[in-house]
Amino acid sequence: MTLTNPLPLAQQLMRCPSITPREAGCFALLRQWFDQLGFTSDVISFGDGDARVDNFFAHAGGGDHPKLLLSGHIDVVPTGDETLWTYPPFSATVADGYLWGRGACDMKSSLAAMVAAVARHKQTYGKNPPLAFAATSDEEGIAINGTAKLLPHLAARGHTFGFCINGEPTSNRVVGDTVKVGRRGSFSATLHVQGRQGHVAYPQLAQNPVPVLLNLLQALRHLPLDKPFAQFPPTHLEITSIDVGNPARNVIPATASANVNIRYNPAYTHDELTEMIQAMLARIADKNIFSLHVVTPPTPAFITQNTPLLEKMIATIARTAGVTPALSTDGGTSDARFIQAFCPVIDCGPTNATIHQTNERIALTDLEKITEIYAAMIDVFTRH
Residues marked as catalytic: 75, 139
Distances (CA, A) of 377 to 157, 315, 316: 26, 10, 6
Q: Which is nearer to Zn ion, 106 or 138 (CB)?
A: 106
* Residue 240 CB, nearest approach to Zn ion (Å): 21
Q: Which is nearer to Zn ion, 107 or 223 (CB)?
A: 107
Site for Zn ion contains 75 (CB under 5 A): no
- DSSP-assigned letter for residue 171: B
* Residue 168 CB, nearest approach to Zn ion (Å): 5
* Residue 352 CB, nearest approach to Zn ion (Å): 9
* Residue 77 CB, nearest approach to Zn ion (Å): 9
Number of chain residues interacting with Zn ion (CB under 5 A): 3
**How are strands ordered across the β-sheet holding 98-100?**
93-95, 98-100, 361-363
- The answer to whether the beta carbons of residues 339 and 71 sit under 8 Å apart is yes
**236 CB-near residues (< 8 Å, 6+ apart):** 225, 262, 263
Q: State the binding string over 123-162 for Zn ion (x if CB under 5 A, else -).
A: ----------------------------------------
Site for Zn ion contains 107 (CB under 5 A): yes
- The answer to whether the beta carbons of residues 113 and 13 sit under 8 Å apart is no
**318 CB-near residues (< 8 Å, 6+ apart):** 176, 324, 325
Q: Which is nearer to Zn ion, 54 or 235 (CB)?
A: 54
Site for Zn ion contains 177 (CB under 5 A): no
Rounded to 5 degrees, what are φ and ψ at 49? 55, -130
Q: Considering only 149-157, 168-176, 252-260, 315-323, which stretch makes contact with Zn ion by CB under 5 A?
A: 168-176
Q: Which is nearer to Zn ion, 107 or 189 (CB)?
A: 107
Interface with Zn ion in residues 29-48 (CB under 5 A)? none
Q: Considering only 101-109, 183-191, 198-206, 231-239, which stretch makes contact with Zn ion by CB under 5 A?
A: 101-109
Neighbours of 220 (CB within 10 A): 20
Q: Considering only 54-62, 102-110, 127-135, 201-209, which stretch makes contact with Zn ion by CB under 5 A?
A: 102-110
Site for Zn ion contains 165 (CB under 5 A): no
Give residue 332's identity as a one-letter amino acid code: G
* Residue 101 CB, nearest approach to Zn ion (Å): 15
* Residue 107 CB, nearest approach to Zn ion (Å): 5
Site for Zn ion contains 106 (CB under 5 A): yes
**74 CB-near residues (< 8 Å, 6+ apart):** 13, 16, 18, 23, 26, 27, 30, 56, 103, 108, 111, 135, 136, 137
- Percent helix, strand, coil in the chain, to 5, is 35, 25, 40
| Residue number closest to Zn ion, CB atom | 106
Q: Which is nearer to Zn ion, 14 or 107 (CB)?
A: 107
> How, if at all, do strands 131-136 and 290-294 pair?
unpaired
Q: Considering only 48-56, 107-115, 288-296, 337-345, which stretch makes contact with Zn ion by CB under 5 A?
A: 107-115
Neighbours of 234 (CB within 10 A): 14
Q: Which is nearer to Zn ion, 30 or 258 (CB)?
A: 30
- The answer to whether the beta carbons of residues 319 and 379 sit under 8 Å apart is no
- Give residues in contact with Zn ion (CB under 5 A): 106-107, 168
